[in-house]
Amino acid sequence: MCGIIGYTGILNAGQIIIDGLMSLEYRGYDSAGFAYFPDNNTDKIEVIKSTGKVCNLENKIHENIKENHPLCGIGHTRWATHGGVSETNSHPHSSGKVTLIHNGIIENYQELANKMAAKSKYPVSQTDTEIAAMVIDSYYNGDPYEAIKNACNELDGSYAFCIMFSDIPGCIFSIRKNSPLVGAVCDEGSFVASDVVAVIDYTKEYFILPEMTIAKLTKDSFEICDFDGNEIIPEIMHINWDIAAAKKGGYDHFMLKEIHEQPEALLKTIAPRIVNNLPDFSNDGVDDSLFTGLSRIVIVACGTAMHAGMLGKIMIEKYTRIPVSVDIASEFRYADPILDENTLVIAISQSGETADTLAAIKLAKNANARTLAVVNVKGSAIARESEYVLYTHAGPEISVASTKAYTVQLAIMYLIAYRMALVNKLADESVISLKISGLLDSMDKMKKMLEMDEELYLITSKIKKADNIFYLGRGIDYAIACEGSLKLKEISYIHSEAYAAGELKHGTISLIVDNVPVIAFATQDNVYQKVISNVVEVRSRGAYVILVTKAGKHVDTTLCDHHIVLPRMDEEYTPFCTAVVLQYLAYYTAIRKDLNVDQPRNLAKSVTVE
Ligand code: AGP
């Protein structure tokens, strides 16, 4: 949460920071700010802030800086944690010679604030970040390294800082703990940012700033050292997706583009893991021994990733008969979970930096459980903390509402289930080979679903007027219903709930009255009739029913207002098609309500706070 970027070089820092912040806006978008050295030779830092989107800040920068463009600056786009949305609370924050921006949370800020007040220094904002600026400044006597080191020894919590000292013009210092920060150097200067999307216009080479090291950026150098002053050489990484992947590419919204990218993302994720039509993780360095001798599997994740885990549980249990539990990471980490060396903990995360999922995987490691991360962002914290990693290859997902990252997570869970079945000799190669063919085939089915946009758009004319909506399903379809409900709430602001279809009559059916939309998924043969009975129950109470089935089912047309028919397919793969249904329904409902689809209110893409 919060996007930060620093640049020093030979180009217009104002423009670079604005462009970078726009690409980082998915991390927070309630206010933004920019600090810069107006002239590289003066002992002065100027700050410009604005509430609202980065474009507001851009206008202010253009009003304030008409000539002599700065060559060094830092910028921040905020998702408020401490203190409301205001210019005073937005970053950068200054104290004495120190001006900084921050992504993370300083947990002991109150205690530090009391200490500062005892020294007659009072914050002007309500933020934890200003306290960090005060602490660093209190230690600053001309040596930035000592000041940062001493201050960081006092700060608890998570942070990625870009710091400028007014008497060291042209220079930016950075440090991070449990918050992401990448560095990059090119002919035009040095960069530091929360995400590579902010630097990809300038270079495809980057590195992850090692935790608790101090980086010093100048226009032609990027030096990193540890707290003892030893030089650190980071591992250079290469961005393996094209810059076009981080742009809208002709689509109205990133979400729509990302929905359409799913078949390709699936192919990129699955294809490298198929050898002789069987799942194979040897290129990922995932040893088969990880999948043997297990008494239990625990999947930890949040939000959409957790919904992918729900499907993972169904698949793994089906093929291995090993008990799998799915835990919300924020609950798991405080639940004193039962873990041992025969437990495999799988963390699923698009960003690879979700604070609770990260904490969960650390906890699992400390309890000697085996750990496997399924993440999208290369080198992210969760990937680095886990014993093994399987990267999903969705490419950058910019829209806050997760779409393609979800379906590639599903695909990896299917591959894990199939590989575990093979390794433990629970299924023949011939059986699994057929499954792989089915999985690959579902990408074509998904392409067909993408053509149903108009049909689904029409349905949303009714949904957009609703105050409450219910999603129903059983088994695989219940997991899908959960994701459908979250997606709709997230971007259309309509209250919705997902229910296991059989559970509705244990209380919630009292909410079904005339015209309440119910979206029922009935794609699984073994429970098809059961779900239809549940549909009859809500229909007889006046529900406006949207029923989703596979092709080949004879459906009584009086049962529903809309019947969405999936292509003819094996029921195991219907999630790759029902995912498109729920994504389109949420997307077009938000469009009809004229809402900001890619940046819904109160949300941020990476949830790096608890
Ligand atoms: C999904 O649309 C959400 N934006 C959210 O639930 C997300 O999936 C969750 O915050 C987990 O994020 P992660 O995958 O990056 O860990």
**Ligand 1 neighbour 349 (Cβ under 6 A):** yes
Q: From ligand 1's centre to the CA of 165, what distance in Å?
A: 36
Counting from 1 in the atom list of ligand 1, the atom nearest the Cα of 304 is: 8
Interval 246-255: pLDDT, tens? 788 889 999 9
Handedness of CA 48, 54, 58, 60 (dihedral sign): negative
Is residue 1 within 8 Å of residue 599, measured between CB atoms?
no
Phi, psi angle pair for 566, to nearest 5°? -80, 160
Of all protein residues, whose CA lies closest to atom 9 belonging to ligand 1?
303
Q: ∠413-417-422 over CA atoms, to 5°? A: 145
Is residue 312 within 8 Å of residue 324, measured between CB atoms?
yes
What percentage of residues in the chain have a pLDDT greater than 70? Answer: 100
Is residue 16 within 8 Å of residue 198, measured between CB atoms?
no
Q: Which residue of 349, 402, 406, 485 sits with most ligand 1 atoms within 8 Å of its CB, as the best mutation to test the pocket?
A: 402
- Taking the C-alpha atoms of residue 193 and residue 6, their distance in angstroms, rounded to an integer, is 6
Type of residue numbered 410: L
**Ligand 1 neighbour 357 (Cβ under 6 A):** yes
Residue 231 DSSP label = B
Q: Is 473 helix (H, G, I), strand (E, B) or coil?
A: strand
Q: Which residue of 179, 258, 304 sits with most ligand 1 atoms within 8 Å of its CB, as the best mutation to test the pocket?
A: 304
Q: Is 189 helix (H, G, I), strand (E, B) or coil?
A: strand
What percentage of residues in the chain have a pLDDT greater than 90? Answer: 84
Residue 234 DSSP label = P
Least confidently predicted of 235-244, 310-319, 362-371, 372-381: 235-244
**Ligand 1 neighbour 403 (Cβ under 6 A):** no
Is 40 a residue whose pLDDT tops 70? no
Is there a cis peptide before residue 517, judged by omega within 30 degrees of 0? Answer: no
Structure tokens at 52: 């609202």
Type of residue numbered 61: I
Place of tokens 């980065």: 54
Of all protein residues, whose CA lies closest to atom 10 belonging to ligand 1?
303
Q: Could you tell me the CA-to-CA distances from 355 to 8, 77, 128, 150 in Å, in that order? A: 30, 19, 18, 25
Q: Where are the beta strands (DSSP E) in 202-342?
A: 205-208, 214-218, 221-225, 236-238, 274-275, 278-279, 296-301, 324-328
**Ligand 1 neighbour 302 (Cβ under 6 A):** yes
**Ligand 1 neighbour 174 (Cβ under 6 A):** no
Residue 580: its H or E element: helix 575-592
Q: List residues bridging with 176 in a β-sheet.
A: 160
Burial status of residue 164 (CB atoms within 10 A of its CB: 0-12, 13-18, 19 or more): buried
Structure tokens at 408: 């590639």
Burial status of residue 526 (CB atoms within 10 A of its CB: 0-12, 13-18, 19 or more): exposed
Q: Is 122 helix (H, G, I), strand (E, B) or coil?
A: coil
Q: Is 261 helix (H, G, I), strand (E, B) or coil?
A: coil
Q: Is 249 helix (H, G, I), strand (E, B) or coil?
A: coil
Under 8 Å CB-to-CB from 163, ≥6 apart: which residues? 98, 99, 100, 136, 144, 148, 172, 173, 174, 175
Q: Which of 2, 171, 560, 577 is catalytic?
A: 2
Interval 118-138: pLDDT, tens? 777 878 888 899 999 999 999
Is 609 a residue whose pLDDT tops 80? no
Counting from 1 in the atom list of ligand 1, the atom nearest the Cα of 357 is: 16
Under 8 Å CB-to-CB from 473, ≥6 apart: which residues? 479, 480, 481, 498, 500, 501, 520, 521, 522, 531
- Taking the C-alpha atoms of residue 8 and residue 193, their distance in angstroms, rounded to an integer, is 12
Interval 476-508: pLDDT, tens? 999 999 999 999 999 999 999 999 999 998 988
Q: From ligand 1's centre to the CA of 35, what distance in Å?
A: 31
**Ligand 1 neighbour 380 (Cβ under 6 A):** no
**Ligand 1 neighbour 309 (Cβ under 6 A):** no
Structure tokens at 33: 């700010």
- Taking the C-alpha atoms of residue 37 and residue 49, their distance in angstroms, rounded to an integer, is 15
Interval 168-227: pLDDT, tens? 999 999 999 988 999 999 999 999 999 998 998 999 999 999 999 999 999 999 999 999
Strand 296-301 relative to strand 324-328, pairing: parallel
Burial of 451-470, coded b for 16+ CB within 10 Å and e otherwise, reads ebbeebbebbeebbebeebb
Neighbours of 68 (CB within 10 A): 8
Least confidently predicted of 29-43, 289-303, 557-571: 29-43
**What's the pLDDT score for residue 41?**
66
Q: ∠605-607-610 over CA atoms, to 5°? A: 165
Of all protein residues, whose CA lies closest to atom 16 belonging to ligand 1?
349
Residue among 6, 5, 71, 45 nearest 167 (CA): 45
**What's the pLDDT score for residue 607?**
83
Residue 483 DSSP label = H
CA Rg value for the chain: 25
Per the annotation, the verdict on 60 as an active-site residue is: no
Q: What length does the chain have?
A: 610
Is residue 403 within 8 Å of residue 262, measured between CB atoms?
yes
Structure tokens at 381: 């914290």
Residue among 114, 102, 13 nearest 61 (CA): 13
Mean pLDDT calculated for residue range 13-23: 95
Q: Could you tell me the CA-to-CA distances from 418 to 274, 426, 428 in Å, in that order? A: 11, 9, 10
Is 526 a residue whose pLDDT tops 90? yes
Q: Which of 49, 149, 464, 605 is catalytic?
A: 605
Q: List residues bridging with 50 in a β-sheet.
A: 32
What's the 3-state SS for 56-112? HHHHHHHHHCCCCCCCEEEEEEECCCCCCCCCCCCCCEEECCEEEEEEEEECCHHHH
CA distance from start to end of the chain = 11
Mean pLDDT calculated for residue range 349-374: 96
Per the annotation, the verdict on 605 as an active-site residue is: yes
Residue among 213, 207, 98 nearest 149 (CA): 213
Is 298 a residue whose pLDDT tops 70? yes
Residue 333 DSSP label = T
Q: From ligand 1's centre to the CA of 479, what distance in Å?
A: 15
**What's the pLDDT score for residue 425?**
97
Counting from 1 in the atom list of ligand 1, the atom nearest the Cα of 302 is: 11
- Taking the C-alpha atoms of residue 473 and residue 527, their distance in angstroms, rounded to an integer, is 9
Place of tokens 């019947």: 563
- Taking the C-alpha atoms of residue 146 and residue 141, their distance in angstroms, rounded to an integer, is 8
- Taking the C-alpha atoms of residue 528 and residue 543, their distance in angstroms, rounded to an integer, is 19
Type of residue numbered 454: E
Mean pLDDT calculated for residue range 390-418: 96
- Taking the C-alpha atoms of residue 268 and residue 393, their distance in angstroms, rounded to an integer, is 6
Mean pLDDT calculated for residue range 91-110: 94
Is 42 a residue whose pLDDT tops 80? no
Of all protein residues, whose CA lies closest to atom 8 belonging to ligand 1?
304
Q: Which residue of 607, 608, 609 sits with most ligand 1 atoms within 8 Å of its CB, as the best mutation to test the pocket?
A: 607
**Ligand 1 neighbour 303 (Cβ under 6 A):** yes
Q: Is 398 helix (H, G, I), strand (E, B) or coil?
A: coil
